[in-house]
Chains A and B, each alone.
Chain A
Amino acid sequence: MTTRRSEKEVLDALLDQAVDATFETSDADILAEAKQEYANPSAHVAELRAMAAEKMALAKKSRLSTARAALDAATGQVQSMVQQLSLPELRARIQSLLPGTASAEDRLTLAFRNGEDMSEADLQSLLEDLEELAQDKPKDT
């Protein structure tokens, strides 16, 4: 079943046909046609390549900026969360994030008990590191 096209639709379809024809044109023919159009087709293509290289570099830079912004945002969230915790909450959170080996937990508990306690700033810093480690750790399936 076909539908009669409007003149604009016919022109659109003709443009599609022209693009198809362009891509069916052999390398030799397209290069020969370019010689009629440009005084120096190679120089013209070099300009296109340079433009593409510039766009590729921009795309890569933009990708890095996006990744950096996402990372900074995640770090900022952790810092903000840690700053809001009281000392007991800090300790509890640190304990919950420590690797589940008795020796590690014991070491920290022993350090607290022996008065080798860390300052609040030290604990905050430790928790930030542990939170980041926990985020990087692959999820168990």
Chain B
Amino acid sequence: MNDSSQAGHSQQEVEQAIHALSDADWLRLERAARYRVSGLPQINPQEILGEAVVRLMNEARNWPQGVAFAAFFRGVLRSVASEYRKDLLAPVEIREADLAPGDEEDAPSVAELTPGRAIDPQKRLQISEIMKEIQAHFGADDDVEAVLLGLEAGYTGKEIQAEFGLSDKAFGAARKRWERWLAKYYPNGIPL
């Protein structure tokens, strides 16, 4: 049986789709690339955009029929950034001196100290500082705070909306306020 939804596209179709991207599409993709290079200071966002273009050309058949090209591009961008992260972030060497003395509860677990998964103490501190900064900025914004609390609790977007009674519009606006803040203060992503 010929299932056209599984057929994918040709390299030529991908090329045409790339040429057809609007200015707004490119600006969105570039901004997404900037957020995706969070924690990869050695990588220029345009580098992962370029790598995504190469990947799109080489894997045209993976672009499913019926899926908007910009959405597919966005997914490829995420995948490329994730691979860069995997390749570039070498396991962190943990020294005894890095372990938090005294406070057992706050000390990193053995699993966290396993090479490949570890977050070094300095990075952990930096992340905490950024979280405090975000919470302080949005302390008076109930909707963004709800998003933060919901994400911390492990909720999905829909679950956050249901739990905190946020309409689609309110949730989208809260998300946009957060994104604007990020674009202003961390235009090249968060140093994760």
Residues of chain A whose beta carbon lies under 8 Å from any beta carbon of chain B? 2-5, 7-8, 10-15, 17-25, 27, 30-31, 33-34, 37, 41-42, 45, 48-49, 51-52, 54-56, 58-60, 62-63
Contact = CB atoms under 8 A, between A and B. Distances in A.
Interface string B173-192: 00110111011000101101
Interface residues of B, number: 56
5 contacts: A3-B154, A7-B131, A48-B29, A52-B53, A59-B58
B30 interface: yes
Contacts of B134: 14
Contacts, number: 140
Interface of B: 11, 15, 18, 22-24, 26-32, 35-36, 38, 46, 49-51, 53-54, 57-58, 70-71, 74, 78, 119, 124, 127-128, 130-131, 134, 147-148, 151-155, 157, 159, 172, 175-176, 178-180, 182-183, 187, 189-190, 192
Interface of A, helix, strand, loop or mixed by DSSP:
helix
A14 B57 contact: no
A22 B38 contact: no
Nearest to B55: A59
